Structure 1
Amino acid sequence: MKTLDVIALILVIIGAINWGLIGFFGFDLVAMLFGTMSTFTRVIYALVGIAGLYAFSLFGRDRDPDRDRDHDRREVK
């Protein structure tokens, strides 16, 4: 997995946990840790949003090239 993919995945998970806490308990963990709409909080929200958009690119990628290579070999026989 590329480094950017891992960073994006971590940010998406942070965002998902934060939204889960907001939805279930009305508790915004990011705002509690870094202040309500402080500059740093806004940067975190922006990075999570960008990571979410980047995560769309993961749908179009092939993550297991060995699987396709083995599949192609079976079809040739």
Structure 2
Amino acid sequence: MKVIDTIVLILIIIGAINWGLLGFFQFDLVAAIFGEMSTFSRIIYAIIGICGLYSISFFAKDKF
């Protein structure tokens, strides 16, 4: 599971950087790369959202 955790963490960091760019500069990096709400960009957003949900399990791993 270590590899999956690392991939999830990298995708969460990418998502956080994208949100930071949106907040500070009104620049959507995912939309700039893959197109404004194209099918592929929506898949990217969905994957990052799922990774965010999966990352909740990181809190439980530290306690056991």
The ranges of structure 1 where at least 4 consecutive aligned residues each deviate by more than 4 angstroms after the TM superposition are none
Aligned AA for 2:25?
F
Q: Provide the rounded CA distance (Å) in 1 between the counterparts of 2:51 and 2:8.
A: 5
CA distance in 1, matches of 2:20, 2:9: 16
1:34 aligns with 2:12: no
* Equivalent in the alignment of 1:7: 7
Percent identity (aligned): 66
Name the CA distance, whole Å, in 2 between partners of 1:23 and 1:46.
20
Q: Please, which runs of 5 or more residues in structure 2 have no aligned partner? A: none
- Secondary structure of the residue aligned to 2:46 is helix
How many equivalent residue pairs? Answer: 64
In structure 2, C-alpha distance between the alignment counterparts of 1:14 and 1:36, rounded to whole Å: 17
Taking structure 1 as the reference length, the TM-score comes to: 0.78
Cα RMSD between the aligned structures? 1.7
Alignment gaps of 5+ in structure 1: 66-77
